[in-house]
Amino acid sequence: MHQLNFISKRNLEWMEVDSPIISDEHSVLIRPLTVATCDMDGLAIQGIVPFPGPTPIGHEGEGVITEVGSGVSKWKVGDRAIIPWKIACGSCKSCQRHHSAQCLTVPSEDAYGWGVPIPKWGGFISDTVLVPWADTMLTKLPEGVDPLLACGVADNISDGYRAVAPHLKERPGGTVLVTTAVAPGSIGLYAAGIAVALGAEKVVYADTSQTRLEIAATLGAEPIFLTKDAIKKYATDKRSLDGGFDITVDACGVPEIIPELIAATSRAGVCVSTAGVIYRGNPLPFDVYSMYRKSISFHTGWVHTHSFIDESLGLITSGQFDPSPVTTKVVSWDDAADALIEPFTKIIISRSQ
Ligand SMILES: [Zn+2]
Ligand SMILES: [Zn+2]
């Protein structure tokens, strides 16, 4: 079958590889129909975070089920399903605790096409994908919902959701500051748009890209140009500790911004970093005492997509959140290799069947 592979910086190639086959009774085969780029695809393709190739690419999307194992109860041939980026068994201690990104049944890096070459699972920009533990892995594409809107919940939309939604639930009507700097930058935009949709009192979006600042404004956030000083301005007053944001989001991957972001986090606030991959080999400076003094939490880690996919999908199906302003363009399957080597915020590769 045809499969698109990342080879090296700005170099993608279609390869001819063996089609996967049903490996056990709990698996299904899926023909991907809609695949969105993950921010990490852009980081790898543009050489910002170097990864070794060749490796199959594409891990955010949906498709049609083409074959079903005998032990699968929820799915039949022809069903449309959203496939999360990470492989998870659904029954181990981690999965039972809703920590699916750290499923204990598979090696920690088992996922569909991403930076680490794992040919076993392949990538979504291919003719067929094997999905193990299909009954718990997959989510139904709701009837009547445009897959171009929904496919991102398989990874980046859920990532943006987890950065703000659980923390807004604890701080109803809270204030949010999102920072982005490095392209593609879709996760920060989703976080800002979802915070607006969830009724945050104030959502400030700081970025160095004029294009993304305009998208953020379309999503209802207040755009500001990202500099250290711009974030410093929001730092809580040392004496009264008043001010700052209830939730600050590091989707920017700039080490010098982190101390300012933590200083701009309010009392009992939370700073969430979705940019961990950019810090590989580059430890961050933390002022733990100031966090202790203000009871600030810091969250990071791979998104436990399985835990957030239903809620983020619900925001889209209800019309509360429209992710389409983030999409740079929609391209045909045959144009994927050419389209992905150009800079993008989010490209969606689509075919009808
Ligand atoms: Zn991803
Ligand atoms: Zn598991």
How far is ligand 1, taken at its centre, from the CA of residue 303, in Å?
9
Among all chains, which residue has been given the structure tokens 């700052």? 244
| Same domain flag for 76 and 43 | yes
Q: pLDDT 10s digit of each residue in the chain, 353 long?
A: 999 999 999 999 999 999 999 989 999 999 999 999 999 999 999 999 888 999 999 999 999 999 999 999 999 999 999 999 999 999 999 999 999 999 999 999 999 997 777 778 999 999 999 999 999 999 999 999 999 999 999 999 999 999 999 999 999 999 999 999 999 999 999 999 999 999 999 999 999 999 999 999 999 999 999 999 999 999 987 666 678 999 999 999 999 999 999 999 999 999 999 999 889 888 887 889 989 999 999 999 999 999 999 999 999 999 999 999 999 999 999 999 999 999 999 999 999 99
Instruction: Report in angstroms the alpha-carbon separations of 219 from 4, 24, 214, 322.
Output: 32, 44, 9, 8
| Same domain flag for 179 and 319 | no
| Same domain flag for 69 and 173 | no
How far is ligand 2, taken at its centre, from the CA of residue 110, in Å?
11
| Same domain flag for 77 and 180 | no
| Same domain flag for 257 and 140 | no
| Same domain flag for 197 and 314 | no
Q: Of 300, 323, 338, which residue is a domain's last?
A: 300
| Same domain flag for 289 and 336 | no
* Number of domains forming the structure of the chain: 2
Cβ distance 139 to 309 under 8 Å?
yes
Please give the DSSP secondary-structure letter assigned to residue 111.
B
Which CATH number is 19's domain given?
A: 3.90.180.10
How far is ligand 2, taken at its centre, from the CA of residue 93, in Å?
7
| Same domain flag for 280 and 311 | no
Q: Of 300, 323, 339, which residue is a domain's last?
A: 300
Domain around 189: 159-300
How far is ligand 1, taken at its centre, from the CA of residue 154, in Å?
9
pTM: 0.97
How far is ligand 2, taken at its centre, from the CA of residue 97, in Å?
9
Angle at 205 between CA 302 and CA 161, to 5 degrees: 35
| Same domain flag for 144 and 169 | no
- Three-state secondary-structure class, residue 260: helix
Which CATH number is 254's domain given?
A: 3.40.50.720
| Same domain flag for 308 and 296 | no
How far is ligand 1, taken at its centre, from the CA of residue 280, in Å?
15
Ligand nearest to the CA of 58: 1
Question: Residues 276-324: pLDDT tens digits?
Answer: 988 988 888 788 998 999 999 999 999 999 999 999 999 999 999 999 9
How far is ligand 1, taken at its centre, from the CA of residue 309, in Å?
14
Ligand nearest to the CA of 38: 1
Ligand nearest to the CA of 97: 2
| Same domain flag for 284 and 317 | no
| Same domain flag for 61 and 166 | no
